[in-house]
Amino acid sequence: MALTCTFTTFTTLISLCMFCVNAATYKQFLQMGQSMGTDDTVISYGGNFELGFFTRTRENSTKYYVGIWSRKVPKDKIVWVANRDYALESTSAVLTIQPDGNMVIIDGQVTYQVNKASNNFSSHATLLDSGNMVLMNTSNQEILWQSFDNPTDTLLPGMNLGRDLLLNYTWSLISWARPDDPAPGAFTLEYDSSSNRASLTVSNGSDVFWIDDNYNNTIANVISRSGVVKQVGYYTWPVGNDSRLVLEVSGEVNQDNWSEKEKRWVSVQSSKCGTDNSCGDFSICDPQARPTCACLHGFESSEADSSSKGDTSAGCVRKTPLSCSNDGFLQFNEVQLPQPSNEYRKPNIGTARACKSICLTNCSCVAYAYEFSGTCWLWLGSVSSLKNISTNVYSSDNTNPVFNLRVAASELISAGLGSMDKQFGHGPNGSFTG
C-alpha cells in the first residue's frame, strides 16, 4: 500500500544550497531521473542527516527500507521510514523520481509510491539539515511533499503534532511494530487540543493510557506566549533545541537531548516516569537510566527473575525488616515525591526533627518529608511513584522537600554509614556525606 498524503503549499522561503556533496555517490539532491541504490545515500548539506536504504533481518530474510537517520553517532536511530508498511527484499531496489515528478521505490516488478502528487511537475528531492526530505517543484521551489508531514515514530525540531484545523491535516507518531520491524505498531502519540487542557497522549486503539503533565505545562506556556497553537490545534517541537521525542515500541515516550560534551544522546524525560507507580513500591524512576526503575537502598526486587535482569518495575521489598525501635533514615535529594492522602499530612509541625519523631513513634511509618511551611508528610506501609528529577529539565528548582526513607540500622552499616541518619544524592544509591 503506497503512502498517500494531503498536500500543503508553503509560502515560507527555504534557503537551499545548489550543489552536491563531493563524496562518491553521496548527494544532497536527488534529481528527476536519478536513482539511488541500496548502497547509495544522500547527506544533508551540513552533514546532520542521511537518507538511504537500511536493513532489518527477521524470519530468516533481509528486509530493505528507505529511511533517514541522524549522523551524530554511528548507527544512530532511524528517525523516518518511507516504506514502513511495505518491506523490500531485493538488493536491486532503487529510490527514484519518475518523469511525472513523483518519488517511488522500485523493487523488481513492484513500484512503491512514496508520495502521490499527480502534478506532472519537474521536481527534485532535497534532504535538509533539519532531517526533513522535501520534494520540490524545480521551476518555482514550491514544496510538493515533505517527510515532516508524514512522521514515523520520531518528532524532530520543526515537526508538528496535532491537527491543522484549516487544512484538516493531522500529524501523529506511530510506534514501530517491533525493534526489527518499522511497520506501524500498537501505540500512537497525539496532541489533543480539543479541551481546555491541551495534552500529549499515548493510546493503544481506544485506550488512552498516558497524559504527561510536564509536556502539558510546556505546551501551555507556548500557547500563552503566541496563541498560535490555539488557532491551528497543533504543537511544534521547538526549533534550535537539539533534541527529539521518540515513541518506543513499548509505548514509552522518551525525550533525548544531544550532549555535545559526552557525544551521545541523553534521555532527559520519559513517560515511564510520568505514570503513577510505574516502578512499584520502594523503587525510583530515573528517565536517564536503563532500565528506568531501580530499588532504593536496602531493598531488592520483589521478583527474583526480574532482579537478575535488572528490571524492578514490579516493585521492591526490604532486605532487612524494620525493628521499629532501632531504625534510621536515608535522606534523598532531587526526588519528586508522591502525594500521600490527607490523613498522612500533619500541618503546623514546628521542625523537621519533630516530623521525624512522629514517624519514628509509628511503626507503620516508612518515610517522611518536611516542608519549611511546617507541613509534615508521612508515608505508612509503603511508598511509590518516586522520581529522580536531577535531569528533569522541567523540574530544575530546589523547592522539593528532602525525602527521608526509613531503613533498618544494619542497612546503614552495610552501606558504610555509621550514624542513624545519612544523606544520599539523587537516585537509589547516590553520593552521600557523613
Query: What confidence tier does 1 reach under pLDDT thresholds 50, 70, 90?
Result: very low
Q: What angle do CA 12, 13, 17 make, to 5 degrees?
A: 145
Amino acid letter, 373? S
**Claim to verify: residue 190 and residue 95 sit in the same structural domain:** no
Query: How far is Cα 386 from Cα 71, in angstroms, rounded to an integer?
Result: 35
**Claim to verify: residue 133 and residue 17 sit in the same structural domain:** yes
Query: What confidence tier does 337 reach under pLDDT thresholds 50, 70, 90?
Result: confident
What percent of the chain has pLDDT above 70?
71
The DSSP 8-state label assigned to residue 353 in this structure reads H
Chain position carrying cell 515513541: 247
**Claim to verify: residue 142 and residue 28 sit in the same structural domain:** yes
Query: How far is Cα 133 from Cα 345, in angstroms, rounded to an integer?
Result: 55
**Claim to verify: residue 209 and residue 325 sit in the same structural domain:** no
Within a domain: 311: no
> Residue 127: which CATH number?
2.90.10.10
Within a domain: 28: yes
Radius of gyration of the chain (CA): 26
**Claim to verify: residue 31 and residue 59 sit in the same structural domain:** yes
> Residue 396: which CATH number?
3.50.4
Q: How many domains, the chain?
A: 3
Domain finish residue from 243, 275, 307: 275
Within a domain: 72: yes
On the question of pLDDT at 180 being above 70, the answer is yes
Within a domain: 299: no
DSSP secondary structure, 218-232, as one string: HHHHHHHHH-HHHHH
The two beta strands, 376-380 and 327-332, are unpaired
How much is the pLDDT for 333?
82
Domain finish residue from 150, 176, 202: 150
Strand, helix or coil for residue 117 = coil
Within a domain: 294: no
Q: What is the mean pLDDT of the chain?
A: 77
**What are the distances in angstroms from CA 371 to CA 3, 29, 315, 422?**
56, 60, 27, 19
**Claim to verify: residue 218 and residue 235 sit in the same structural domain:** yes
**Claim to verify: residue 219 and residue 335 sit in the same structural domain:** no
Query: What confidence tier does 130 reach under pLDDT thresholds 50, 70, 90?
Result: very high
Within a domain: 284: no
Within a domain: 315: no
Query: What confidence tier does 151 reach under pLDDT thresholds 50, 70, 90?
Result: very high
How much is the pLDDT for 341?
65
Averaged pLDDT, 338-363: 86
Query: How far is Cα 40 from Cα 44, in angstroms, rounded to an integer?
Result: 14
**Claim to verify: residue 250 and residue 129 sit in the same structural domain:** no
Domain finish residue from 275, 302, 335: 275
On the question of pLDDT at 383 being above 50, the answer is yes
Q: What is the pLDDT of residues 200-251, one digit of tens each?
A: 777 777 776 666 545 554 444 444 334 444 445 677 777 777 889 999 988 8
> Residue 207: which CATH number?
2.90.10
Query: What confidence tier does 321 reach under pLDDT thresholds 50, 70, 90?
Result: very high
Within a domain: 180: yes
Greater confidence (422 vs 96) lies with: 96
**Claim to verify: residue 168 and residue 186 sit in the same structural domain:** yes
**What are the distances in angstroms from CA 73 to CA 27, 64, 262, 280?**
20, 21, 11, 34
Averaged pLDDT, 313-333: 88
The two beta strands, 199-204 and 181-192, are antiparallel
Q: What is the pLDDT of residues 15-30, one digit of tens each?
A: 333 333 333 344 678 8
User: Residue 162 sits in which domain range?
Assistant: 152-275
**Claim to verify: residue 183 and residue 130 sit in the same structural domain:** no
**Claim to verify: residue 164 and residue 182 sit in the same structural domain:** yes
On the question of pLDDT at 82 being above 70, the answer is yes
**Claim to verify: residue 77 and residue 50 sit in the same structural domain:** yes
Q: Choose the most confident range, by mean pLDDT, from 21-30, 76-85, 245-254, 292-301.
A: 76-85
Strand order through the sheet with 181-192: 173-178, 181-192, 199-204, 207-211
